[in-house]
């Protein structure tokens, strides 16, 4: 397994399909060891609880409703849990997987993003859990760079590819 970084990462944007689609500014978003994903939407969870089980037969994902940006074009969020979506579309080939990490500026502002693994074979416009811890909240603008996605190449293609409910979201 090896980290896909630098020039190799830039070449992956030329694949068909590209590793990432919809980068607004590749020179700004492509970092030394990953790519910054940008904020497209913020949603608040409804009051119903979620349910997670062993085989997904009883899985219930709580509904969420998008929060419209304020008049100044951004969001001001108080403490709590939010569902966010990214602008960029991710296309993970069979011999790659990715891990997302909260950008340090977001952490230093009292918030973090919880993510799952981007499995081999996944394709879609992903979402993640944003948790605001700072008592004064946080202000976010559309297209804020909030998460860095780090890609790893496997020694060989995965035996199974992602085919779950969130494919092509």
Give the tens place of pLDDT for each residue, 27-84: 999 999 999 999 999 999 999 999 999 999 999 999 999 999 998 889 999 999 999 9
Best CA proximity match to 38, nearest among 54, 53, 25: 25
Report the pLDDT value the prediction gives residue 79, as an integer from 0 to 100. 98
Tens of pLDDT, residue by residue over 111-162, are 999 999 999 999 999 999 999 999 999 999 999 999 999 999 999 999 999 9
Q: Domains in the chain, please, with CATH? A: 2-46+64-153 (2.70.40.10)
């Amino acid at each position: 397994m090896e980290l896909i970084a630098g020039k190799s990462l830039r070449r992956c944007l030329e694949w068909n399909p590209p590793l990432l689609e919809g980068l607004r500014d590749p020179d700004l978003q492509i970092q030394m060891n990953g790519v910054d994903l940008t904020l497209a939407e913020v949603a608040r969870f409804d009051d119903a609880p979620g349910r997670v089980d062993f085989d997904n037969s009883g899985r219930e994902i709580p509904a969420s409703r998008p929060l419209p940006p304020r008049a100044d074009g951004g969001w001001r969020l108080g403490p709590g849990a939010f569902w966010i979506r990214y602008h960029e579309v991710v296309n993970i080939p069979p011999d790659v997987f990715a891990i997302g990490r909260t950008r340090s500026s977001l952490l230093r502002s009292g918030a973090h993003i919880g993510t799952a693994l981007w499995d081999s074979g996944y394709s879609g416009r992903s979402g993640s859990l944003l948790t605001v811890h700072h008592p004064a909240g946080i202000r976010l603008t559309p297209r804020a760079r909030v998460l860095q996605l780090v890609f790893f190449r496997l020694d060989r293609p995965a035996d199974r590819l992602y085919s779950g409910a969130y494919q092509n979201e």
